[in-house]
Amino acid sequence: MLAAAAAGWLNQIDATPGAVVLPDLDEGEAACIRIALTHAGASLVLMDERAGRAVAMEHGLVVAGTAAIIGMAKTRRLIGSARDAFARLHGSDFRISAQVIETVLRRVGEMA
């Protein structure tokens, strides 16, 4: 993440309470949506949970999940291998379905 931030891909913004009430989401997802809605320059919201993604899109935000970000990073040559990135995630508590991984690998030309 430090490299992505240094490259200008990520910005860290302190969460502040907003006027938008999002009671059905956990505080992290709600804060992410509030921040995106209050910062006109926000162009992409990274969110993996379905409920949060749906609410973000209802508010007109552009949303991508971790798998899509890995695919974008590979396409833009910011990483050497999407397959390796997914393998590293697989070793953690993070879960992405095999079907989603296969779709991304196919799109970036890494499907064997």
Secondary structure class of 11 (helix, strand, coil): coil
Q: Could you give the residue ranges of the DSSP H alpha helices within 65-97? A: 66-75, 82-90
Residue 54 and residue 73 in one domain: no
Residue 53 and residue 73 in one domain: no
Residues 32-62: pLDDT tens digits?
A: 888 888 876 667 889 998 999 999 999 899 9
Residue 49 and residue 85 in one domain: no
Our count of domains for the chain comes to: 2
One DSSP character per residue, 19-46 reads: S---TTS-HHHHHHHHHHHH-TT---EE
**Domain annotation covers residue 5:** no
**Domain annotation covers residue 2:** no
**Domain annotation covers residue 93:** yes
Secondary structure class of 93 (helix, strand, coil): coil
Residue 23 and residue 55 in one domain: yes
Residue 37 and residue 55 in one domain: yes
Q: pLDDT value at position 1?
A: 61
Residue 76 and residue 102 in one domain: yes
> How many whole angstroms separate alpha carbon 85 and alpha carbon 90?
9
Parent domain of 92: 66-107
- pTM attached to this predicted model: 0.75
Q: pLDDT value at position 101?
A: 93
Cβ neighbours of residue 12 under 8 Å, at least 6 residues apart? 5
Question: Could you say which DSSP state residue 64 is in?
Answer: E
Within a 10 A sphere around the Cβ of 35, how many other Cβ atoms? 17
Q: pLDDT value at position 27?
A: 84
**Domain annotation covers residue 33:** yes
> How many whole angstroms separate alpha carbon 67 and alpha carbon 5?
18
